[in-house]
Chains A and B, each alone.
Chain A
């Protein structure tokens, strides 16, 4: 009698009971996509290599009286620049208060959605895909890529 091969190197991919896999709803999928797109805007994916070093004492205390007033003035100006100019992009954009001004501005200049339909590519190999993962909505092109997707990425981190 032939034994059903559930263990070993060729476990059937469809042996996962559909009822046991969580299905993400569209809001979660949308949030995941936004997260991915924001991650693409990052400058660096690693941490600053200098972050863990102790801060070196750059300015040794000077006891020369004649220099003190000049130095103090220079110091406040440097700090003034640092405090004023350390806003990030989002804060500057809100400060600009674009709803008040007329005419074209930064927000209006953004390109509109395309009139052409969106093309989908397999998340694993990059070739054009035809099928969608039931649980997370990722695209795949063939059953082998679906297997790789389930093992590596599907539902591995959730928003």
Chain B
């Protein structure tokens, strides 16, 4: 009886058997202008020779699974012969779903997993619960923790106490990796080069070049300087997929400050975009979204909790999700929360080594837990009782 752990994210699916390593695979289908007949699924992305103007077909919308056609095709590919070769009758699956998932989606997922794929048993959890489980596994003495999951569609802030999530404290900020990439595309298209079609390339630019600044206004002033004093500006060489396969930053020595470029290369000159784009996680109002940023929402969420628990939450803040990979993210969150939190409480912010796979590792630990058998719903259970037993058992 093996257990498959699948962290079903809106952008990446983190999947692997609990006794093996995790693979991070795009959870969508791609279509390319150049190869007109084929639709590429998940990790077939590597087969595409020309990823310019790549068209994404994502099964998720606003963080919720709405398009089952695409999701089933991706799952067929992942569970099939080329990838994990799942033997359904003999496998348990641990699968993640979003917070406050709609009941129609939950029922569809039950149907598809039990009746279509026919897994032996299923456990549906929130991704944050797996992160919390992993955190408590490492720090046995702590009672509460608060998980900040900054993902593709949105950022969720979820407090956990003794392993159960506290629904009153869940806070959702509608800013995620997708918004940051789209915003970066818009400003580059307006100021320099039309890249509105190039989601894949600009996502790469965002990951390579953007960082979170510790002192926003000071960085703004530095980026306005001319010549050598300007330490913020970088030049990014765009890939053209024939000679340059992947974009890269030009090293400082080669940078031409007078502004004349060598022919043949397409270069982007990025100054304040480097730190203004991740700043949207901390101040969504910069772009017009009237919501709190991450530090404010953290404090707001903790204030909704009972007073005795609040110092425990401040001591155990865990950052997960893809957007946690920006350099300087953890220090900035610590600085802002420390400024907003009461002075007598101790504040501690933890950024794990691999924020993207942290929930998956929690799932792996959960699968090896002796209590695992009691948490899952088996296929016989489901066939006898229907959706009701899943609703009762899974705390979503």
Contacts and interface: CB of A to CB of B under 8 A. Distances in A.
Interface of A: 33, 36-37, 39-46, 48-50, 53, 81-82, 84-89, 92-93, 95-96, 103-106, 109-116, 118-119, 121, 124-128, 152-153
A69 B93 CA distance: 33
28 contacts: A36-B288, A40-B186, A45-B185, A45-B197, A53-B37, A81-B69, A85-B67, A85-B68, A86-B67, A87-B66, A89-B61, A89-B62, A92-B66, A96-B103, A96-B104, A109-B170, A110-B174, A112-B300, A113-B291, A114-B296, A116-B283, A116-B285, A116-B296, A126-B187, A126-B191, A127-B220, A127-B272, A153-B190
Given A46-B197, A88-B66, A109-B170, 4 more contacts: A41-B182, A92-B104, A115-B296, A126-B272
B55 A48 contact: yes
Interface string B189-205: 01100001101000000
A112 B291 CA distance: 5
B348 to A, nearest CB: 23
Contacts of A33: 288
Contacts of A106: 100, 102, 172
A81 B183 CA distance: 35
B331 to A, nearest CB: 20
Given A92-B66, A112-B292, A49 B33 contact: yes
Interface of B: 31-33, 36-37, 39, 53, 55-58, 61-62, 64, 66-69, 72, 99-100, 102-105, 108, 167-168, 170-174, 178-179, 182-183, 185-187, 190-191, 196-197, 199, 217, 220, 223-224, 271-273, 276, 283-293, 296-297, 300
Contact of A113 (B57, B174, B224, B290): B290
Contacts of A127: 220, 223-224, 272
A121 B286 contact: yes
B291 A110 contact: yes
Nearest to B61: A89
Contact of B293 (A53, A82, A104, A114): A114
A104 B170 contact: yes
A38 to B, nearest CB: 11
Given A112-B291, A114-B296, A126-B276, A81 B68 contact: yes
B104 to A, nearest CB: 6
A84 B57 CA distance: 19
A85 B66 CA distance: 7
Contacts of B178: 41, 43
Q: For the complex, would chain B's binding face be called helix, strand, loop or mixed by DSSP majority?
A: mixed
Contact of A103 (B167, B287, B296): B167
Which residue, of A109, A111, A114, A116, has the highest number of chain B Cβ atoms within 10 A? A111
Contact of A95 (B102, B224, B283): B102
Nearest to B176: A41
Given A41-B179, A116-B296, A119-B285, A104 B173 contact: no
Contact of B31 (A48, A104, A116): A48
